[in-house]
Chains A and B, each alone.
Chain A
């Protein structure tokens, strides 16, 4: 693959065994690459394997086969603290539910502070505090928010904190797993704007996992469409959204609510049969 790929997945396979006789192949020979400073959207429905791909890339899940390369170097599953730390410095993740990455009983600043203690051991206490406030300012929050507990913040504010938490490690890549899916549209638009600005300012690379094709146009440069553990189509945003080739991509596009849309069973069934 070409040299400007910061992140590569090559031939990833992952099967989950659910019982003695049943198993699900979440990743079935998945290969993809993300160019430095761009956003790759991974689109799919439940069971497509998109979240497993994200989790394998950040190292939360191991693959049965295949490899993940960052900056051309293979990153292997590891339990070594120093290697995990090095990986976390390169790749951070933001989840759909920000509550999960925050401690309910502490002010949200404490969570960011903990990240800084790990990733910026050079900073003393006062410097860390200053850095926390700097990070909060970057995601559009103030000192008042920093000293609040997660329960006192709205969903959008919590997601901004989760983004600040990821930024605290100063990563090169952020994996966003349905990071704006639970937000109201007006909040979603603001968070998408924020992500766009941060990417530009910091030269970040995003892997953007989503079930929602409509947000893809707003954030992504390239798209892969996944279904049942396989990539069925890949291309630029314009190619995928304007000139879809695979029947499954066309089905997803047909089913996405949009102005003037009317759901029609006949059309849906016809497209589904072509897959």
Chain B
């Protein structure tokens, strides 16, 4: 469904004219309904990879290679074609949900706009579907949320709204860029569970960018470990965890602080053991 071949990105410093390679010829592909995690530390190029797919790489940068989504070469596509792809096939869930919503409009307008303007669903129908969308992401007091402005909602609630908006367009590919990094750990667990559930229900493919290996492993079919703009290895979470191919992956895994280093499970008072 998505095929990325030899993707490169180079940025030229406007003052010095010096060129920096940000992505170094990366290739990967994604099947229908598959989730791929891009994991790595800051500056590894994981977010830039998403930006290239969306065609929003920084101004003055050069993209090379090819990105093929459902038969369309995104790097060769015209502005009109790109707009269609972005409206119909892609949805972005960014780290900061505030960036996705217009601060002076109600949440309801955000959801309606996504469906009516971008996908041509009649406004009345979009309006009728809005509350149902929120219920899908586990929001119960839909009336209050629909009539709220973004600043009136917590980060976790707002990120659920963004997920609702993303699935409303029935895209083929979800692009999630550290979507839970700014959230509290309990909120993160809930939002990630909802994201995973909805993605599977709708059969969507997803690229999930995260600095947290265990988080990405929990909801992705395969992980790509990135460092300094290059994909070092791609494998299932188990392969990456149990049989890492590169020293860097091994070092990255070893650096993670672990709740239970020896693999022992905490004993809960009711006698059940949580899985470790």
Tell me, yes or no, whether A binds B. yes
Q: Is the CB of B257 within 8 A of A253?
A: no
Q: Is the CB of B138 within 8 A of A265?
A: yes
Q: How far is the CA of A265 from the CA of B138 in the complex (A)?
A: 10
Q: Is the CB of A259 within 8 A of B257?
A: no
Q: Is the CB of A215 within 8 A of B190?
A: no
Select which of A46, A242, A250 is within 8 A of B184 by beta carbon. A46
Nearest A residue (CB) for B264: A242
Residue B274 at the chain A interface, CB threshold 8 Å: yes
Q: CB within 8 Å of B: which of A68-113?
A: none
Select which of A192, A251, A252, A261 is within 8 A of B218 by beta carbon. A261
Interface string of B151-188 (1 = CB under 8 A from A): 00000000000000000000000000000000011111
Interface string of A256-275 (1 = CB under 8 A from B): 11111111110010001000
Instruction: Say whether, besides A189-B255, A241-B266, A252-B185, A259 and B197 are in contact (CB < 8 Å).
Output: no
Q: Is the CB of B193 within 8 A of A186?
A: no
Q: CB within 8 Å of B: which of A153-194?
A: 155, 184-189, 192
Interface centre among A155, A184, A185, A253 (most CB of B within 10 A): A185
Interface string of B38-52 (1 = CB under 8 A from A): 000110000000000
Nearest A residue (CB) for B190: A268
Shortest distance in angstroms between B274's beta carbon and chain A's nearest beta carbon? 6
Instruction: Say whether, besides A46-B184, A264-B193, A186 and B261 are in contact (CB < 8 Å).
Output: no
Q: CB within 8 Å of A: which of B249-274?
A: 251-252, 254-261, 264, 266-269, 274
Q: Is the CB of B252 within 8 A of A258?
A: no
Q: How far is the CA of A247 from the CA of B246 in the complex (A)?
A: 40
Q: Which residues of B contact A255 (CB under 8 A)?
A: 185-186, 188-189
Q: Which residues of A contact B275 (CB under 8 A)?
A: 260-262
Instruction: Say whether, besides A215-B257, A251-B186, A252-B186, A257 and B266 are in contact (CB < 8 Å).
Output: no
Residue A254 at the chain B interface, CB threshold 8 Å: yes
Shortest distance in angstroms between A52's beta carbon and chain B's nearest beta carbon? 16
Q: Is the CB of B193 within 8 A of A263?
A: yes
Shortest distance in angstroms between A227's beta carbon and chain B's nearest beta carbon? 10
Residue A24 at the chain B interface, CB threshold 8 Å: no
Q: Is the CB of A257 within 8 A of B218?
A: yes
Nearest A residue (CB) for B254: A189
Q: Is the CB of A244 within 8 A of B266?
A: yes
Q: Is the CB of A259 within 8 A of B217?
A: yes
Q: How far is the CA of A213 from the CA of B264 in the complex (A)?
A: 16
Q: Is the CB of B251 within 8 A of A217?
A: no
Q: How far is the CA of A184 from the CA of B276 in the complex (A)?
A: 23
Residue B219 at the chain A interface, CB threshold 8 Å: yes
Q: How far is the CA of A211 from the CA of B190 in the complex (A)?
A: 16
Q: How far is the CA of A187 from the CA of B215 in the complex (A)?
A: 19
Residue A243 at the chain B interface, CB threshold 8 Å: yes
Q: Is the CB of B219 within 8 A of A263?
A: yes
Nearest B residue (CB) for A250: B268
Q: Is the CB of B255 within 8 A of A188?
A: yes
Residue B73 at the chain A interface, CB threshold 8 Å: no
Q: How far is the CA of A45 from the CA of B212 in the complex (A)?
A: 18
Q: Which residues of B contact A142 (CB under 8 A)?
A: none
Q: Which residues of B contact A250 (CB under 8 A)?
A: 268
Q: Is the CB of A214 within 8 A of B257?
A: yes
Shortest distance in angstroms between B33's beta carbon and chain A's nearest beta carbon? 18
Q: Is the CB of A214 within 8 A of B256?
A: yes
Q: How far is the CA of A214 from the CA of B185 in the complex (A)?
A: 11
Q: How far is the CA of A188 from the CA of B255 in the complex (A)?
A: 8
Instruction: Say whether, besides A244-B266, A256-B185, A257-B212, A214 and B193 are in contact (CB < 8 Å).
Output: no
Q: Is the CB of B186 within 8 A of A259?
A: no
Q: Is the CB of A184 within 8 A of B211?
A: yes
Q: Which residues of B contact A262 (CB under 8 A)?
A: 218, 275
Q: Is the CB of A258 within 8 A of B258?
A: yes
Nearest A residue (CB) for B251: A186
Residue A130 at the chain B interface, CB threshold 8 Å: no
Instruction: Say whether, besides A242-B267, A255-B185, A256-B185, A263 and B192 are in contact (CB < 8 Å).
Output: yes
Q: Which residues of B contact A272 (CB under 8 A)?
A: 186
14 contacts between A and B (CB under 8 A): A184-B41, A184-B211, A189-B254, A212-B257, A214-B259, A215-B257, A217-B260, A218-B257, A242-B267, A255-B188, A257-B189, A257-B218, A259-B276, A263-B190
A sample of 16 more A-B contacts (CB under 8 A), given A257-B188, A262-B275, is A45-B187, A184-B41, A185-B41, A185-B211, A185-B252, A186-B251, A186-B255, A188-B257, A189-B255, A211-B185, A217-B260, A241-B266, A252-B185, A260-B275, A260-B276, A265-B194
Complex A-B, nearest 3 residue pairs according to Cβ-Cβ distance, in ascending order = A255-B189, A257-B214, A184-B41
Q: Which residues of B contact A (CB under 8 A)?
A: 41-42, 138, 184-190, 192-194, 196-197, 211-212, 214-215, 217-219, 241, 251-252, 254-261, 264, 266-269, 274-276
